[in-house]
Amino acid sequence: MKYTKESLGRPATFLLPSLKLRSERWNNKPVEQAVREYLLANFGGYTAHAGNVFGEWTEPRTGKVFYGEHLAYSVAFKGKERIPELEEFLATVANVINEESVYLETGEDAWLIYPEKEGST
């Protein structure tokens, strides 16, 4: 069978705490809805992985152990210059839901995105 294919670009996957996405509000709507609207408008689409996405981790800065249940989102975009845009958005979401950090994978790398609290440098 013959076919054609088109690259969607660079993949990125990130985790957001599922309970906070549903319980917190941002711009008068649930955070989950605001996130999905942003991803659709700015990255042309997304995939949300629901189900048993959970984990336990030690926070590198404090050594405190955390447990969380998450929604995993995946997007694709052309050019690595779009990564900072996604990082800034995730820092904003983390700040809105009072999350210390957000886990992000871009290509071969994994990151923790920490929002800077107002008044910090």
Whether the pTM exceeds 0.85: the reply is yes
88-113 pLDDT per residue, tens: 999 999 999 999 899 999 988 999 99
Contacts of 75 (CB under 8 A, 6+ apart): 11, 12, 39, 43, 45, 46, 47, 86
37-93 pLDDT per residue, tens: 999 999 999 999 877 789 998 988 889 998 989 999 999 998 889 999 999 999 999
| Domains of the chain by residue range | 10-113
Q: Choose the CATH number for 10-113 among 3.30.70.2190, 3.30.70.120, 3.30.70.260, 3.20.20.70.
A: 3.30.70.120
